[in-house]
Amino acid sequence: MSGKLLLEYKQKLFSAAVAAKKVDHVKPGDLVRVSTRVSDGAVVRIARFEGRCIGTKSGSPSQSGFSILVWRVVDNVGIKRWFPVDSPAVIEVSLLGRGRARRAKLYYLYGRRGKSARIRTTKVSADVGKKPGGSGNVASDSNRSDPAASQSDQA
């Protein structure tokens, strides 16, 4: 009985820690930015790693032990890094784009460059409350040519 209580207590602590963190639901193929806390001696700074999620471990972000594998190419060198989401060093996992992948692990991207390495991506909008039909850019929306408005201005 005590083992079950301990497990429930750990799950409650974990769910509170995940709720305090900003973690979006990440799937393979998504474009993500992971913010981590890095200590360089006495200086603590935030390092951001932005790339394509090519794999996950342990189900979903609501489960204990969930990790994501993020990959990006810098100067023709591929860099991959595992991020355990429930680690205290990981501050935030933000979703930049939703990728459409039909595999659970996207290791086939390692050997590809250019067009063959593309994954169809849709951008995730941060502005949920913007008006439909608008581009989201206030300057371009206000400069849109409206014949009725231009005639009333000229009269």
Upper half-sphere CA count for residue 76 (Cβ side, 13 Å): 0
Q: Which DSSP state fits 111?
A: G
Convert the pLDDT of each residue in 45-54 to its tens digit.
999 999 999 9
Q: How high is the pLDDT of residue 86?
A: 84
* Of 38-47, 83-92, 114-123, minimum mean pLDDT range: 114-123
Convert the pLDDT of each residue in 55-66 to its tens digit.
988 877 777 788
- What pTM, to 2 d.p., does this model score? 0.65
122 within 8 A of 98, measured Cβ to Cβ: yes
Judge whether residue 128 has pLDDT over 70: no
> Cα(121)–Cα(38) distance, rounded to whole angstroms?
30
pLDDT band at 15 (very low <50, low <70, confident <90, very high): low
Q: How high is the pLDDT of residue 122?
A: 81
Q: How high is the pLDDT of residue 145?
A: 47
86 within 8 A of 14, measured Cβ to Cβ: yes
What is the gyration radius of the CA atoms in the chain, in angstroms?
A: 22
Domains plus CATH for the chain?
A: 2-116 (2.30.30.790)
Span 20-31, average pLDDT: 81
Q: How high is the pLDDT of residue 134?
A: 47
